[in-house]
Amino acid sequence: MAGVLEGIRVLDFGRYIAGPFCGTMLGDLGAEVIRIEKLEGSEDRWVTPVTDSGEGAMFLQMGRNKLGLTLNPVKPAGREIVKKLVAVSDVVIANLPYEDLQKMGIDYESLEAINPRIILATNSTFGSEGPYATRVGFDTIGQAMSGAMYLSGDGKVPTRMNAPFVDFSSALLSTVGVLAALMDRQKTGKGQKVETALLRTAINITNGHLIEQAILDLNRIATLNRGFTAGPSDTFKCKDGWIYAMTIGQPLFVRWCRLMGDESLATDPRFKDDLARGDNGEALSEIMQKWCEQRTVAEALAELEANRIPAGAIYTPQQALDDPHVQQAGFFHPMEFPGAAKPIPVLQEPVRLSRTPLTIRRRAPKLGEHTDQILQELGYGPAAIERLRADRVV
């Protein structure tokens, strides 16, 4: 089945997550995506290696639905290849410092001169304006400077989220921007630059906390897993593992009080509303913890679900893979990859469309796997390709 972006060509110069996952999403939507990387392989190819040849787990996720081209775009012959590719493409993705884009000839001004319809999706740590514009960074810098890390942990040691949510959120915002730019291009015939920044993304995520601070000046500190503005909202240890349970709003709280066997809690002035329950959440968590200590994870979840109180088991990565709902709902698309001992469990669809579903059509490419194919399509013959390879251009 053709995807909604069939006929759109994307050049993915991205690195790590914020750029490449935008390319992955566009590829899942049907675009032809060409992953362009260093001759020796870009750094993100080798992060957390899981195959015999060293490809990393993150690359195997990000590389699906992409063709692989190795290229040195700084060399004159490499820049010529870039120009030819840009002339027949629709989108360029590059989460690199802007001065690097200029050296490679993929800054927006250079791209527009070649192809006025081109769309450039860029991501940096701080954006193109302001005193930090030239600084570099990763996901955790966004977590740190947005307040997210300060509000996580035990109130003594700021704690980062190990899953890089700022990177992935930036990639998703880039995808939204590219889709909007493609829609605008249908009307105007012109491309544009789509810009995201890790700190901007992180502040978007913590914006509610920042608004509360600006208006109320509360100076909150981290409370481990206990919620600020609801309760009980926390992690709880059962006989054989941990769960997370969350109660928000009066109807849920009344049901929780009934489940705990103490309906008088619902009229206790300490717990009169969500904000008060958040302020006095430690007391509520103590009650819930005593209840959980007498039950297994399965028993606690069954009783909570019977009372329609949101809760879930806290899984190890292996338990997440083995969960029966994840398995039966078909979350994963197992993919073979050369040198991998087992099929790669790649998420099937980050978003589901009923009529034009996202699809996984190919595994991540081996290093430079499609270089010859792409160059031939640009008009390079076998001898010319051999010269480019001998000159370390490709």
Question: What CA dihedral angle connects 157, 163, 167 and 170, to 10 degrees?
Answer: -100
> Quick one: pLDDT at residue 50?
97
- At 116-131, the pLDDT tens digits run 999 999 999 999 999 9
Partners of 34 in the β-ladder: 11, 67
pLDDT over 70, % of the chain: 100
pLDDT at 97: 82
Average pLDDT over residues 176-180: 98
What is the pLDDT confidence band of residue 1, given thresholds at 50, 70 and 90?
A: low
Q: State residue 162's pLDDT score.
A: 95
**Where residue 152 falls among pLDDT bands split at 50, 70, 90?**
very high
What's the pLDDT at 179? 98
Mean pLDDT of 172-187: 98
Is pLDDT above 80 for 322?
A: yes
Question: What CA–CA distance (Å, rounded) separates 66 from 36?
Answer: 10
**CATH architecture designation of domain 9-205+330-391:** 3-Layer(aba) Sandwich (3.40)
Question: What are the boundaries of each domain within the chain?
Answer: 9-205+330-391, 233-315
Mean pLDDT of the region 326-354 = 95
Average pLDDT over residues 72-95: 96
For the structural domain made of 233-315, what CATH number should be given? 3.30.1540.10
Confirm if 48 and 348 have CB atoms less than 8 A apart. no
Contact between 314 and 235 (Cβ < 8 Å): yes
Q: What is the pLDDT of residue 335?
A: 96
pLDDT tier, 2 (very low <50, low <70, confident <90, very high otherwise):
confident
Question: What's the pLDDT at 349?
Answer: 87
CA proximity to 11, closest of 98, 69, 76: 69
| 66 bridge partner residues | 33
Dist. CA 323–CA 312, nearest whole Å: 12
pLDDT value of residue 96? 85
pLDDT band at 176 (very low <50, low <70, confident <90, very high): very high
User: CA-to-CA distance for 360 and 349, rounded, in angstroms?
Assistant: 8
Using the predicted structure, report yes or no on whether residue 214 has a pLDDT greater than 70. Answer: yes
* pLDDT confidence of residue 263: 95
Q: Tokens for 188? A: 């105007």
The conformation of residue 360, written as its DSSP 8-state character, comes to: -
Nearest in space to 237 (alpha carbons), one of 295, 194, 183, 315 = 295
pTM here is 0.95
